[in-house]
Amino acid sequence: MPKRVAVDDVAAHNERMWERLAKAGIPYTRPQGTPPRTTQGKRRFLDRITNATLAGVDLGGKRVLSLAGGGGWDAILFAELGAATTLVDISSRQLATVRRLARSRGTELDYLRTDMRDLSALGSGEFDVVFHQHSLVFVPDPARVIAEVTRVLAGGGVYVFSTMHPVTFLFYESWTGTGWRPKKTYFSDRPVPVLDPTWDFGRVKVHAPTYEYAHRTSDLVNICVRAGLTVDGLWEWSPHYEGGPAGSDDALEQKLPAFIQIRARKASSSSGRGANGSRRRTDPPAPPPFVRPPGDSRPSPRRTPAR
C-alpha cells in the first residue's frame, strides 16, 4: 500500500480519482503529441504549452519545478532545454508515465510524489521557475499552495500557474435551451456542482467524481500579493473561439474564457530565509489552516478530450 501523501481528505479523494483516470489512460494523464527533435522545435513546443508566458527566459542552468505536472511534456522539455528539473505530482501512475518516457529519451529528472500543498521535501529558494498548469482547481485552499511555492522560489524567480476560469466554470452543463444558468453563486466557496461525473473520451468512459473549486481571480491575485509576489501578467483565454453547437462547451467558450493564467515574480531582494536552498527541507513554515468546505463534492464539468 503506497504511503499517503495527501494533506487532507479532499486531496486523498482526488488522488484516488486521478489514479483511476491514469489507469484508464485518459489524455489528461499522459503527454500528448510529439515535440520536434531540434532545440528550437522543442522550445516552440514548450512555448505553446506555457502560452509564451516564459518566452525569452533562457532555461540553460535554471532550476525548474514542474508542479502537479505528471500528465504533460513540460518537465521533460524543461530538462532537455538545459534546466535542472524536478517533477512533482500526487499520482504515482502519472509520475511513472513521465519517468518511463524520460528514461526512453535519456532525459534526467528528479521526481517527488506529494500533495501540491506540502513541498516540505524541497528547500527554500531552490527553484528559479515554477510552472503549474490547471491543477489548482483541485484544492479548496490555493493560499496554501502559493505559500509553499513562494518559499521554494528563489529571489527573482517566476511562478506561472493556470486554472479554470471562475466565471465560465459555473456555466458548464447548465444550458437551458435558450441560455446558460450558473450552478452556484460566484461568491460561494463550495465545490462546483456537476450533473455527470463521467469523463467521456469516446470509447473510454471513467466515473471519477473529483472535488473541484472555482477560485476567484481577485482572490488569486491578492493571495500572490500577500505571499510577497509581484503579479506582472494575467491572461484569460479559450481554446474554442470558433464556437460550436448551441449549448456545447465550445459554444460557451466562444463567449467566455475557459482559463485564466497568472505570472508572478519573487523580488530579487527577498530576505529572511538565508541563501538559496539553505533552509532545512523538513521544517517549512506553517501553511494557512485547511477548513473543510461545506456540502458534497462534485466533479468538474469539463470532460472533453485534452486540447
Helix then strand then coil, in percent of the chain rounded to 5, is: 30, 20, 50
The pTM score is 0.86
- What pLDDT shows up at residue 138? 96
Lowest mean pLDDT among 124-138, 141-155, 286-300: 286-300
pLDDT over 60 (residue 87):
yes
- What pLDDT shows up at residue 277? 40
Which residue type, as a one-letter code, is found at position 229? L
Q: Give the homologous superfamily in CATH for domain 9-266.
A: Vaccinia Virus protein VP39 (3.40.50.150)
Given pLDDT bands bounded at 50, 70 and 90, which one contains residue 71?
A: confident
Domain positions in the chain are 9-266
- What pLDDT shows up at residue 212? 94
Q: pLDDT tens digits for 156-165?
A: 999 999 999 9
Q: pLDDT tens digits for 117-128?
A: 999 999 999 999
Given pLDDT bands bounded at 50, 70 and 90, which one contains residue 269?
A: low
- What pLDDT shows up at residue 194? 80
Query: What average pLDDT is seen over the chain?
Result: 88
- What pLDDT shows up at residue 307? 34
Partnered with residue 85 across adjacent β-strands are 64
User: What's the average model confidence in pLDDT over 255-273?
Assistant: 83
pLDDT over 90 (residue 284):
no
Collapsed DSSP state (helix, strand, coil) of residue 296: coil
Given pLDDT bands bounded at 50, 70 and 90, which one contains residue 2?
A: low
pLDDT over 80 (residue 103):
yes
Q: pLDDT tens digits for 13-54?
A: 999 999 999 999 999 898 989 999 999 999 999 999 999 999
Cell numbers for 236: 484569460
- As a whole number of angstroms, the distance between CA 253 and CA 251 comes to 5
